[in-house]
Structure 1
């Protein structure tokens, strides 16, 4: 019996079974909840669970394996670093015509999840933009570092940053506003992705884009920013908008399935089990809401049991933003089986056809009559009629197909869309900057739980901002006589690795959910929300690019092309400003 902080209990079970040489049915893995996951607990907990299992087997006593913070940061994998090399073609109007890009992922010392991470990166190089001719090449480099692993976005951010960086450069080369360049290149109509999947509902991206421009008063603020830059020689402001189009489903089709076990007791109380894991993202709350809605009972009637492999077998990782889709579909299926049985019992009691029975808020009614039953009364009646009050639910995502050998097919159920506008202010003296305001409109379909989704959007955006601006991993280069520590992480604690805090939050942070965005075929019309908001933070990086450019052109941005590293730390921004100012000074010194 293993209690493990894992996003993938079934795979933990498989690994321990393999290591101990015993069948899977002799291993039970439980994950009550995690204090955060973000992908790092999808693959890497399995080895530590196996170590504990070996210890318990050899000693006959309980064994605990727990890492210190420094050990954790030093030993475990990180988000894959990527090197990108590209050639792009575009028209004088800024329309993309062709792209040839090679992505090289730093896999670390072992393969881990590097192959699917790279595959998703390759599938997201286009982001929200139509590129008529495109070639994407991917490879994984084995390096003397930690074994890199899953992290929120799972390759999507590393792929999407390529096209966002390209469009930012094109805009500055042509002297056309970046948000106009981006808008011109959006998918439309019946266009397909480079891997031949139709882009459905691209109009939602247009709607979110227009909503941000309107509600954030973008045009008025751009005028104010121009005036500010013209009168503040040592500080520059900029506002940037970026979109997100993120595919939802596992690239490996077999993982797109979920299971659940729903038990209704004689007193009417309900216990649900499902294969998803809770890591603070609110999945358990959503599953209770799905059960309560489907059964037509108050939320207080439903309790959720810990995720265990002896209750729901062969589950997929809680990853790929698909936890609610897969497990919600399975919970709904199990509850519908129970409702179908109870409907027959209720129809007999109320004297109506089963199709006329309705369940709502713990009361069972029938169309065309004044009769009613309480949920508890109906369940008790069903028990004495020997009607089964439990069900095993299952869900599989339909319509998926993917040929990994040629990278073609429809690997995703749908795309999640979003748009963000970020305004920054940069100081030329030290490259420090302030995130002044953020406005987001995000498509979550018909939200299962709006408060949870708003929290995920806010948290994802801030985490993405940290990745792009603050979180700078540094490694020992090993260039020391007799040093055998090459590849060792040197930023292994909070004193050397900076993550976002309250001081990095914008004073104004506005988040809205896109209206009229029902997603057909998903549980109650909802859409995934875990990963897509992370990439809305590209707006911060692009705003920094525009602000840096403004230091070299009298505050307007002009045709200065900024080479901005990622992460764009204050130091990196400072040196980018210095390069821009030096280039502008050289240009001014050359006679026309």
Structure 2
């Protein structure tokens, strides 16, 4: 009697360290009852329900910094929702704090709690802890940059470790001083970004729905989600709620080589960002066309809903489709107005 349990595409997202036990147990019971070899596999949706899901967290922080952006102290309160069973949760705090230490915070203190709750337990999920720690660190860096109105990369560089602080934060694992090259690597990357030209097109239909085309291909990296959010953000100044009502109206169409003749290729971890910038430029062109109509309607009726604005624009024959081809500037380091405050 043999037992075989499989999780479809299990290598794609992690989570199989403990969660495969559910499938293995069901398979073992079936083999015992049937007295014959049993093989079981899960479709992707069921697999994600059972094994997928990062740990929800609640993070509070207090950060001290100077006017030039140098961070002097950080205190972090971290609550991790472990669910009903420990699973891999006890390993999370160390991994999160380990990734957080990527910057020199000066004086660093933290209080981490792994919380038992009445929801399903969470497990290791593609870079467990590293992703969360890096996210928290970057949120703090962006918050400081936003508060000081300084470019984010400037704040990042100012708070990179030197060899001495690296030794304090990481101990003996730091290696030899002669091998330290973090700052020089950062400067090289900042001065030679390989951003690729990318097209984008935004079209508003008569019913107010929005169709978006970009050169990039959605392969699980969240490209379409980001593009939808950028579309709502870009057109948001035309809406009373800042664009929240537009998210459900946006659909992304997989473009072809006729509609996006210079789409390029998807890769290099920049396709989502460059596609979003092309969409932002397209939205800016549409806002410029629609703003006079919006202001005219507001003068007569006060607040103008999105559907009424588009209906009026159609009546006066405004072009409701805009296309942009974003090309990289060698000095491009990001847009200050898009930095978020956490």
TM norm. shorter chain > 0.5: yes
Partner of 2:84: 109
Partner of 1:244: none
Give the drift of 1:68: 4.2
The structure where helix makes up a greater share of residues is 2
Tell me if 1:48 matches 2:23.
Answer: yes
1: CA distance, partners of 2:197 / 2:66: 27
Provide TM-score, normalisation by structure 1. 0.35
Tell me if 1:78 matches 2:68.
Answer: no
Give the drift of 1:467: 12
Task: Give the alignment partner of residue 178 of structure 1, picking from 147, 152, 161.
Answer: 152
Give the drift of 1:422: 12
Tell me if 1:133 matches 2:107.
Answer: yes
| 1:192 alignment partner, SS class | helix
Give the drift of 1:435: 8.5
Instruction: Say if 1:203 and 1:463 are closer, same or farther in 2 by CA, change over 3 A.
Output: farther
| 1:124 alignment partner, SS class | helix
Contact 1:96 1:185 in 2 (8 A): yes
Instruction: Say if 1:158 and 1:66 are closer, same or farther in 2 by CA, change over 3 A.
Output: same
Alignment of 1:401-420 (within 5 A): none
| 2:115 alignment partner, SS class | strand
1: CA distance, partners of 2:197 / 2:63: 26
Contact 2:145 2:152 in 1 (8 A): yes
What is the root-mean-square deviation of aligned Cα atoms in Å?
4.6
Partner of 1:144: 118
Partner of 1:199: 174
Q: Flag structure 2 segments of 5+ consecutive residues without an equivalent.
A: 230-247, 256-262, 285-333
2: CA distance, partners of 1:425 / 1:103: 39
Contact 1:78 1:146 in 2 (8 A): no
Residue by residue over 1:43-62, the C-alpha shift from the partner in whole angstroms, topping out at 9 and shown as x without a partner, is: 21123212212332343212
Partner of 2:4: 3
Alignment of 1:178-257 (within 5 A): 178-190=152-164, 191-192=166-167, 194=169, 196-200=171-175, 203-216=180-193
Instruction: Say if 1:179 and 1:558 are closer, same or farther in 2 by CA, change over 3 A.
Output: closer
Contact 2:4 2:40 in 1 (8 A): no
Give the drift of 1:192: 2.5
Larger radius of gyration, structure 1 or 2?
1
Instruction: Say if 1:422 and 1:69 are closer, same or farther in 2 by CA, change over 3 A.
Output: same
Give the drift of 1:165: 0.8
Alignment of 1:496-515 (within 5 A): 507=264, 511=268
Tell me if 1:562 matches 2:340.
Answer: yes
| 2:171 alignment partner, SS class | coil
Instruction: Say if 1:558 and 1:78 are closer, same or farther in 2 by CA, change over 3 A.
Output: closer
